[in-house]
Amino acid sequence: MLLISSAKWLQLHGLKKNKLTFPQILSQIGFQHKEDYVSILGKLVASRYANGLYHQCITTPDGKLYNLTAKKDLLFHFVDCLTEAIELYKQRMEWLTTESRQIFGVIQEQCITIILDFGVASRVEFNLCQEALSMVFKQQVAQIAKFNLIWGGQDLVKWQEKAVPVTEASIQAAVEWLWAIDHMPAVCHTGPTEAIMEALFDDTIEAVYYFVVGDMPECMKHLLLQKITRSPCPVHTVSFNAREEETIAFLKELSQLTTGRFHAFVERTDYTDKFSTSVSKEDDKSPPTQNSNKLKGNLPLGKRSKQKKLVALAKLLSVHLPGEVLS
Q: What is the mean pLDDT of the chain?
A: 82
**Calpha distance 144→109 (Å, rounded):** 7
Cβ neighbors of 247 (< 8 A, separation 6 or more) are: 212, 214, 215, 216, 239, 301
The answer for residues whose C-beta is within 8 angstroms of residue 2's C-beta and 6 or more apart is 9
Cis peptide upstream of residue 61 (ω within 30 degrees of 0): yes
Q: What is the pLDDT of residues 252-273, one digit of tens each?
A: 999 999 999 999 999 865 443 4
Q: Where are the domains of the chain?
A: 6-77, 99-317
Show the CA angle centred on residue 277, arms to residues 273 and 282, nearest 5°: 130
> pTM higher than 0.85 for the full model?
no
Each residue of 278-320: pLDDT tens digit?
343 444 555 554 444 456 656 556 555 545 544 554 444 444 4
Write out the chain's pLDDT in tens, 327 residues: 789 999 999 999 999 999 999 888 888 888 776 666 656 666 666 666 556 677 777 776 777 778 788 888 998 999 999 999 999 999 999 999 999 999 999 999 999 999 999 988 999 999 999 999 999 999 999 999 999 999 998 889 999 999 999 999 999 999 999 999 988 877 778 899 999 999 999 999 999 999 999 999 888 999 999 998 889 999 999 999 999 999 999 999 999 999 999 999 998 654 434 444 334 344 455 555 444 445 665 655 655 554 554 455 444 444 444 433 333
Cα(243)–Cα(230) distance, integer angstroms? 28
Q: Please give the torsion angle defined by the CA atoms of residues 308, 313, 316 and 320, in that order, rounded to the nearest 10 degrees.
A: -80
Task: Please give the Cα distance from 281 to 304 (Å, whole number).
Answer: 35
Q: From the options 3.40.50.410, 3.40.50.1780, 3.30.70.1020, 3.40.50.920, give the CATH code of 99-317.
A: 3.40.50.410
User: Cα-flanking dihedrals φ and ψ of residue 62, to 5°?
Assistant: -80, -15
CA 112 to chain centre: 17
Residue 166 main-chain phi, psi, to 5 deg: -80, 125
Q: Are 206 and 180 in contact (CB under 8 A)?
A: no
Which phi and psi (to 5°) does residue 215 adopt? Answer: -105, 170
CB atoms within 10 A of CB 265: 19
- CA–CA distance, 239 with 119 (Å, rounded to integer): 12
